[in-house]
Chain A
């Protein structure tokens, strides 16, 4: 069997084949270590593993992993069409336009990445029609954000909702990370972590627009301050296991737990670790009274994330279930 010829033949019909193989530094580890464990007689099996890795592993992804990635994918679509709609309006200045073009490009890449990992298990693209950014759920109730209809008309309201979306996304990825922390899904975990920090970078940028630019000293800061947890909560949409009041900065369910990874406290939390440490008490002399809460972001559970996001589904029965 001519291995290289085989790969080259595949390259003729699939130009991306080389990139489908473990295309990062992990290649060294994976294949050196792996090579030592196989004998020549096992080569066909080894090659089969190589191609399975390259072309998707949907059949073997645990259900919880599929569920976690599909929730992430729905949130990415929620953001994608939100930014696409604002870019089709004329309410942003040049610097904002460029920033949201960059952010939209990232979301499109995240969608491709997640769809690639999920394969046939990925949800269908909800399309723009799947979302109602006014929060009226397709006219089922009064609008929460009236300016965010088919054409967005208010920059302040857009930026405020953008901040809420992206911070919900950051919390969702953080809350979902343990679901991906299995011995067979460490690569997926790494991808999710590498999306998580990009979403946090987006939040930082959006927050600087909300305060009028990076040289402004008004609120909000680029990190989450404890006073944000008092923001007006959103309807919980009757999602099972979500708290009665939901909000991007409020506690999820459960708010406290036996272990830190089983708890979803509000963003003003200052008790970290087990045994817990009061991190506000670690602030240096002359430091701020809010630094302890700011220094740690908090995860959010899937049910609460769904309850928040469902406010922006055109049909609440169709998305975030």
Chain B
């Protein structure tokens, strides 16, 4: 994808990329992974109550504990459900109106699954649920299947790929913060379905990219064949690009 929208996405992922970039990795770790073990000692005498400008001003925090993770999942499912609902609504000139039979069937299934996920979390959270979020899909061209190089906006399948990959990375990265095994298994039941979605959307765009290096660690001497999962705050930097002001999120309890 070469369009303007990739700029904010790339920036949001920059911290993760920096840490996984093979060339920079060794020297970087020389002074962090090992260095911080000692550097941390110097912080022992410091007070961490220094006043700072709050980078999360005007952001809605998902909360803490398992409820916070469920709300985080609820937020991401709201985003996906709203996206596919708009895709499947179609209309004159839309990509969906002229999509292949298989792509129509796939996107309709994805709409169904994501709406079910959203409604499930809403029901499970009850009065603890965050509000209904307002989305901002101005960076997506719903009339376009996939953006050509240099396009200013993402196509429908580009956005679907971004949302599905982000969802998988998000559930996997949130797993460690879950206390209850019921909630852990629940997240597991959903994330594998999201991974099935992600792989198929990728295949619609480019054959045999279902586990490409941008989402799975497959190359390099230390590759583990594992999903490149992302912690909540990293995920939200991307997700917030698709949320309207007043609906942008933070996850300050999960670091």
Contacts and interface: CB of A to CB of B under 8 A. Distances in A.
Contact of A204 (B39, B200, B225): B200
Contacts of B203: 204-205, 208, 214
The interface size bin for chain B is 35 or more
B7 interface: no
Interface in A11-35: 16, 18-19, 21-25, 27-29, 31-35
Contacts of B15: 25
B182 interface: yes
Interface stretch (A55-63, A108-116, A118-126, A231-239): A108-116
B252 to A, nearest CB: 14
Contacts of B222: 16, 19, 23
B41 A35 contact: yes
A217 to B, nearest CB: 5
Nearest to B20: A24
Contact of A32 (B43, B109, B190): B43
A303 interface: no
Interface stretch (A42-50, A81-89, A140-148, A153-161): A42-50
Interface string A84-106: 00000000000100110011011
Given A215-B102, A277-B120, A277-B124, A201 B37 contact: no
Interface string A201-237: 1111101100000111100011100000000000000
B16 interface: yes
A223 to B, nearest CB: 5
The interface size bin for chain A is 35 or more
B127 interface: no
Interface in A153-209: 170, 173-174, 177-178, 181, 186-187, 189-191, 193-205, 207-208
A298 B115 CA distance: 19
Nearest to B38: A3
B100 to A, nearest CB: 6
Interface string A296-314: 1111000000000000000
Interface in A270-292: 272-274, 277, 279, 282-284, 287-288, 291-292
Interface of B: 15-16, 19-20, 25-26, 29-30, 32-34, 36-44, 85, 100-103, 105-106, 108-109, 111-113, 115-117, 119-120, 123-124, 168, 171-173, 175-176, 178, 180-182, 184-186, 188-200, 203-204, 207-208, 210-211, 216-218, 221-229, 231, 255
